[in-house]
Amino acid sequence: MNMSKLLIVGTVAFDAIETPFGKTDKILGGAATFIGLAAAQFDVKSAIVSVVGDDFPTGYIEMLNSKNIDTSGIEIVKGGKTFFWKGKYHNDLNSRDTLITDLNVLADFKPKVPENFKDCDFLMLGNLHPSVQMAVIQQVPKRPKLVVLDTMNFWMNNAWDELIEVLKKIDVLTINDEEARQLSGEYSLVKAAQRIAKFGPKYVVIKKGEHGALLFHKGNIFFAPALPLEEVFDPTGAGDTFAGGFIGYLAKTKDISFENMKNAVIYGSNLASFCVEKFGTRRMEDLKNEEIHKRLRRFKELTQFEIELN
Amino acid sequence: MNMSKLLIVGTVAFDAIETPFGKTDKILGGAATFIGLAAAQFDVKSAIVSVVGDDFPTGYIEMLNSKNIDTSGIEIVKGGKTFFWKGKYHNDLNSRDTLITDLNVLADFKPKVPENFKDCDFLMLGNLHPSVQMAVIQQVPKRPKLVVLDTMNFWMNNAWDELIEVLKKIDVLTINDEEARQLSGEYSLVKAAQRIAKFGPKYVVIKKGEHGALLFHKGNIFFAPALPLEEVFDPTGAGDTFAGGFIGYLAKTKDISFENMKNAVIYGSNLASFCVEKFGTRRMEDLKNEEIHKRLRRFKELTQFEIELN
């Protein structure tokens, strides 16, 4: 059976993270990195389009390659410095302060889709300037089977028109609850999703962090809980890991029905529950398929009930 | 088949409520009222133990009687005034300010369990001073099949020792997330539930409002989502309605296994989703069984998925 081609666009970056449990120096981060590592859990051919400086360790590139992620679309800018984010989480881990955002080479990022991924079946547009996301869509001549976009409040505040334009071109928007409220002007998430669907996306996924995620499509709603954990160590990358698990599962199964998207958000939530167990990408790098499978059983136990409907 | 006897202890009160959608004068409220109306949806024999003043309209008592709720345990204090609460919800409906709390006859409440309910099978101790809850337990000579207790942060701050004493006597504690954190000193709800279980209750239900509810028992966790609603009109009584649906379903089915408690929290969440649609008890007063049944289907669609485990 032919494997789907999944193209991922987003940041590949350095993060420095402080949580109540410890702190890191510059470690591997970035939306595309987390998406790629999550999607790598499924049998798909994936590639990342991004940009780094020549300060980016080749060891990180090799790690991504070892997960069968094509990195030929990651431009390495000579003399440039890699995007760097430094943040500190509050005690409840639900909020954080950004201490440093050095765009560096990301400021002039012109994405270039590798020739062998111009016919991608699935396209994941990670959180980036909407014009960059649009540039990628325009480089893909054949409409992919599914286009998923992630964004954030920063672009609503600074690139509203470009964001609205790119929303017309996509199938699925993933966004967190506060951002959904800002984008729609509606407090109720049900109404927010209805309003957002009018911008273009047929499917809206609202991520609520520790409170799970909601999938909306026409009148249908599905809810994937977050797995209740004894300890959340570092939430960085959980949303991107969720998106990577979502699109990775869909790309593997090649079934984009609403019923199968239910499974996809469960897989997304499943993978995100691992991501938060260690700093940065560390848990995702050594995650085994059996572990995911075992945790899936916990998701079933957590949500499945047996009331007879007659 | 013999119907279970369910004894409910809690406030029967006047509420005055202001939400972004409107405001009410004094209307019927109180924990026992909401619990009773929810439990009345199931085939159980229930009774309320409470206290009101002689300002309490007989029409309200008649309404409760029309739902087959025995009100002989509601003491009417001559010349006394009924407990009154006035509150105003903020725009997001997730937080509220208490404007008035007039304890009135509740200040000297000495609960008296009616003779014909001293052999109750199920006992629901609504939010009240833990000494009052204990006094009821002591009036019931035969240990009921299940004792459920609801409490709030006020008693943790003002009657800690009495609360700890009564927690030793119960089976299930229902409590909201912030209160669970306060009671346990743990931020993680998984750890909070483990700690709380050491106080006595074998089952802990943590209510998260619009984010659903978690049921904990030993190592097992079940999650009941809240139904995503286009509009929440008035959240007053939602937690008590949840508890009433929970114990009402268990009392009807007489099955207190963890598997059946899963169904019970789904029923609790189901009934709470109706409660918030109108002011006060209004929606619960005219709620029909078919409506509950129909909404149950939405809960199934919201949470059930079909990933094969092999």
A295 touches chain B (CB under 8 A): no
Q: What pLDDT, in 10s, does the model give residues A135-172?
A: 999 999 999 999 999 999 999 999 999 999 999 999 99
Q: What pLDDT, in 10s, does the model give residues B153-179?
A: 999 999 999 999 999 999 999 999 999
Cα dist. B175→A54, B180, B279 in Å?
54, 6, 23
What is the H or E stretch that residue A132 is in?
Answer: helix A130-138
The total number of residues shown for chain B amounts to 310
Residue A233 burial (CB count, 10 A): 18
Residue B1 confidence class, pLDDT cut points 50, 70, 90:
low
| pLDDT top residue among A17 and B92 | A17
Q: Which of A73, A69, A28, A13 is nearest to A49 (CA)?
A: A73
Residue A230 confidence class, pLDDT cut points 50, 70, 90:
very high
Dihedral, A180, A185, A186, A190 alpha carbons, nearest 10: -40
Phi, psi of B289, deg, nearest 5: -55, -35
Residues in contact with B60: Cβ distance below 8 Å, sequence separation at least 6, in sequence order: B12, B28
Mean confidence (pLDDT) of chain A:
96
Q: Model-level pTM?
A: 0.95
A190 touches chain B (CB under 8 A): yes
A226 touches chain B (CB under 8 A): no
Q: Which of B212, B221, B262 sits opposite A305 (nearest CB)?
A: B262
A297 touches chain B (CB under 8 A): yes
- Across the interface, do B297 and A309 touch by the CB < 8 Å criterion? yes
The pLDDT of residue B222 is: 98
Are the CB atoms for A212 and A226 separated by under 8 Å? Answer: yes
Q: What is the DSSP string of B58-120?
A: HHHHHHHHHTTEEEEEEEEETT----EEEEEE-TTSS-EEEEEEE-GGGGG------GGGTT-
The whole-angstrom separation of Cα A144 and Cα A122 is: 5
Q: What pLDDT, in 10s, does the model give residues A52-75?
A: 999 999 999 999 999 999 999 999
Interval A35-43 mean pLDDT: 97
CA A193 to chain CA centroid, Å, is 19
Q: What pLDDT, in 10s, does the model give residues B182-224?
A: 999 999 999 999 999 999 999 999 999 999 999 999 999 999 9
Interval B49-65 mean pLDDT: 98
Instruction: Calculate what percentage of chain A has a pLDDT beyond 70.
Output: 99
The pLDDT of residue A310 is: 56
The whole-angstrom separation of Cα B265 and Cα B203 is: 12
- Across the interface, do A214 and B228 touch by the CB < 8 Å criterion? yes
Interval A281-305 mean pLDDT: 96
- In degrees, to the nearest 5, what angle opens at C-alpha A196 toward C-alphas A192 and A198? 125
Substitution target in A305, A306, A310 with the highest count of B β-carbons within 10 Å is A305
Examine the pLDDT at B121 and tell me if it is beyond 60: yes
Are the CB atoms for B111 and B220 separated by under 8 Å? Answer: no
Are the CB atoms for A14 and A28 separated by under 8 Å? Answer: yes
- In A, minimum Cα distance to B310 occurs at A293
Examine the pLDDT at A130 and tell me if it is beyond 80: yes
Q: How far is A69 from chain B (nearest CA, A)?
A: 26
Examine the pLDDT at A91 and tell me if it is beyond 90: no
Q: Which of A258, A175, A171 is nearest to A220 (CA)?
A: A258
Interval A192-215 mean pLDDT: 97
A161 touches chain B (CB under 8 A): no
Residues in contact with A29: Cβ distance below 8 Å, sequence separation at least 6, in sequence order: A11, A13, A14, A15, A85, A236, A237, A280, A281
Q: What pLDDT, in 10s, does the model give residues B277-295?
A: 999 999 999 999 999 999 9
Token duo for residue B100: 């008035």
The pLDDT of residue A1 is: 66
Examine the pLDDT at B147 and tell me if it is beyond 80: yes
